[in-house]
Amino acid sequence: MNTPDAIVALLKAVPYFAGLSPDALKTLAAGCHSKSFGAGQVVFMEGDPCHHLYILESGRVKFCRMNAEGREQILRVFDRQGDTFCIPSAFSTERYIVNAMAMTGTRLRVLDVDTVICALGTRANPILAQTTPGLAVNRWGYIVADEQTGMTSLPGVFAGGDIVTGAATVILAMGAGRRAAAGILDYLGVTREDRVPEEASCQA
Ligand SMILES: Cc1cc2nc3c(=O)[nH]c(=O)nc-3n(C[C@H](O)[C@H](O)[C@H](O)COP(=O)(O)OP(=O)(O)OC[C@H]3O[C@@H](n4cnc5c(N)ncnc54)[C@H](O)[C@@H]3O)c2cc1C
């Protein structure tokens, strides 16, 4: 696994890097180094500064913490080649948020990280309004939907969640989904008596 091609192949299997060009992968591969650990050896400790991303080449690593009684709690085990860890630490806390320990002889490919820039967008995709005649959007490009029913300006078309409110939360999106589900049933003329009670539909 030490040839440049083998390292590129490993990186390519990492979902975060899947979209990178061959040249970009080669550059990343050149910046990686390999580290081996024996069974039971500490990879890093909670609270230490985090300047690396780790990619599993072989072996097994566990994430763990000590609970209040001093007992070890295993939070996660990484055992598949290409498993990548320390993304949350590198992205936000810059410190390891758990302890990591090799469970067997383990080899990791380590990528040194000075700065991680989160490149994600949460805006509405303009294609939506451009390709859907009659769909009303507000000035930020979010879909206009009735607050009670979720129905858009197109009869029978419903929307909810971030595409209506702008970047918000899961709980708000779930609420919008429930309201839209009721709105759809109203639109289809399903009477309240004919509806499956919510508890029953959750159990089904
Ligand atoms: C980095 C980040 C961290 C977050 N952390 C939290 C958190 O800790 N707690 C919290 O409550 N919220 C959090 N949020 C916000 C939360 O993720 C969103 O509010 C929530 O996911 C909105 O749900 P949604 O169903 O409206 O949209 P989404 O979850 O975005 O779902 C929309 C789906 O539609 C798909 N899609 C888009 N276009 C098309 C198309 N043309 N055809 C087919 N499918 C399409 C997308 O791929 C996606 O799967 C976070 C958001 C981000 C970006």
| Predicted confidence (pLDDT) per residue in 30-62, tens digit | 888 999 999 999 999 988 888 888 999 999 999
Q: Looking at the structure, do residues 13 and 51 belong to the same domain, yes or no?
A: yes
Give residue 122 CA to ligand 1 midpoint distance, Å.
8
pLDDT reported for residue 1: 61
pLDDT band at 203 (very low <50, low <70, confident <90, very high): low
Domain-located, residue 204: no
Give residue 184 CA to ligand 1 midpoint distance, Å.
22
* Torsion sign, CA atoms 131, 136, 142, 145: negative
- What's the mean pLDDT in 153-160? 96
Q: Looking at the structure, do residues 107 and 133 belong to the same domain, yes or no?
A: no
Q: Looking at the structure, do residues 96 and 55 belong to the same domain, yes or no?
A: yes
pLDDT reported for residue 196: 74
* Domain with 168 in it: 127-195
- What's the mean pLDDT in 193-204? 65
Is the pLDDT confidence value at 91 over 80? Answer: no
Distances (CA, A) of 69 to 76, 100, 125: 20, 19, 50
Domain-located, residue 121: no
Alpha-carbon span 94 to 96, nearest angstrom: 7
Domain-located, residue 181: yes
Is the pLDDT confidence value at 26 over 60? Answer: yes
Q: Looking at the structure, do residues 8 and 105 belong to the same domain, yes or no?
A: yes
Q: Among 92-106, 125-139, 142-156, 188-202, whose mean pLDDT is lowest? A: 188-202
Q: Looking at the structure, do residues 40 and 75 belong to the same domain, yes or no?
A: yes
- What's the mean pLDDT in 7-16? 87
pLDDT reported for residue 97: 83
Q: Which of 83, 112, 141 marks a domain boundary?
A: 112
What rounded mean pLDDT belongs to the chain?
88
> Which residue's CA lies nearest to atom 34 of ligand 1?
163
DSSP characters over 150-192: -B-SSTT-B--SHHHHSS--HHHHHHHHHHHHHHHHHHHT--G
Q: Which of 112, 137, 161 marks a domain boundary?
A: 112
| Total domains present in the chain | 2
Cβ atoms of residues 51 and 114 within 8 Å: yes
> Which residue's CA lies nearest to atom 9 of ligand 1?
169
* pLDDT, greater one: 202 or 130: 130
pLDDT reported for residue 159: 97
pLDDT reported for residue 94: 76
Alpha-carbon span 177 to 196, nearest angstrom: 17
- Phi/psi class of residue 158: alpha, beta or left (left: φ > 0; alpha: ψ in -120 to 50)? beta
The share of the chain scoring above pLDDT 90, in percent, equals 52
In the sheet with 32-37, reading across from the earlier edge strand, the strands are: 32-37, 106-112, 52-58, 84-85
- What's the mean pLDDT in 67-73? 88
22-30 and 4-12 helices, crossing angle to 10°: 110
Residue with tokens 């002889």: 105
Ligand 1 binding pocket mutation candidate from 87, 162, 165, 178 (most atoms within 8 A of CB) = 162
- The pTM score is 0.59
Domain-located, residue 200: no
pLDDT reported for residue 145: 97
Q: Which of 87, 112, 137 marks a domain boundary?
A: 112
Q: Looking at the structure, do residues 53 and 107 belong to the same domain, yes or no?
A: yes
